[in-house]
Amino acid sequence: MAKKNKELTLEEKKITELLERLNIALNISLQENELWKQRLNFLFSQIDRVKNIRALMDNTELIQAYLLLQGNRYKEKFDTISLLEKISKEVELVEKELEKKEPTNENELDNEKLLVMLGGKIATGEIKHISSGFLYEEDHHGKGKIILELATGKTEPDRINKFFEKHGLNKKNEDKRKLKE
């Protein structure tokens, strides 16, 4: 019976870890979704503006009225070319933002994934916290297998290089160090 309770505790820890990870992923996804909605609305509004300019080009009075309205919007005076250039600059900012968002390998460990993994292990008790700024993992005898000093990032015993080699990260970090020097 005691063993069954221990299994339930382990199951409950896993459930808690999964719920926390799912909530973090959901919050990030919702934030990204809102940004994408805003970006899409902006781009569609810019398409409408350019189409309006195209449609009004044949009527001098209408294009002048449209340019006046747009000038009031920006607190500037526009001719057709300067308004199109203004729109072009706004779109260019979005294009640059999109260029920064490079597709990443989903299996690659980034800071966010590492922090989520660490948070999950702390939540389940696999990793323990010492109030003086250290994290440690216990072996099956209850002794600390590895200690991490949060202030400096140093570990004892030093397993960082083994971790980097295992995940093929050593070369990347060497390249980053060379770039900084």
Q: Per-residue pLDDT tens for 142-165?
A: 666 667 777 777 777 666 666 666
Across 1-10, 93-102, 113-122, least confident range: 1-10
For the chain, what percent of residues have pLDDT higher than 70? 70
Domain membership of residue 110 (yes or no) is: no
User: Tokens in use for 35?
Assistant: 């940004």
Spatial contact of 43 and 94, defined as CB atoms under 8 Å apart: yes
User: What is the greatest pairwise CA distance in the chain?
Assistant: 87
Instruction: Cite the beta strand spans of 8-122 per DSSP E.
Output: none
Task: Among 82, 100, 118, give the residue marking a domain's end.
Answer: 100
Q: What is the pLDDT of residue 140?
A: 64
Q: What is the pLDDT of residues 67-112, one digit of tens each?
A: 888 887 777 787 888 888 888 888 888 888 877 766 555 566 677 7
Confidence band, pLDDT 50/70/90 cuts, at residue 53: confident
**Residue 81 shares a structural domain with residue 170:** no
Inform me whether the pLDDT recorded for 11 exceeds 70.
yes
Domain containing residue 139: 126-180
Domain membership of residue 119 (yes or no) is: no
Mean pLDDT over 166-174 rounds to 58
Which sign, positive or negative, has the C-alpha torsion 124, 127, 129, 130? positive
Q: What is the pLDDT of residue 107?
A: 62
Chain-centre distance for alpha carbon 164: 22
Q: Say how far apart CA 47 and CA 24 lie, in whole Å.
A: 35
SS3 assignment, position 174: helix
Number of folded domains in the chain? 2
**Residue 88 shares a structural domain with residue 6:** yes
Domain membership of residue 109 (yes or no) is: no
**Residue 89 shares a structural domain with residue 36:** yes
Spatial contact of 49 and 65, defined as CB atoms under 8 Å apart: no
**Residues 6 or more apart whose Cβ sits within 8 Å of residue 109:** 167, 169
Q: Say how far apart CA 33 and CA 97 lie, in whole Å.
A: 15
Task: Report the length, in residues, of the chain.
Answer: 181
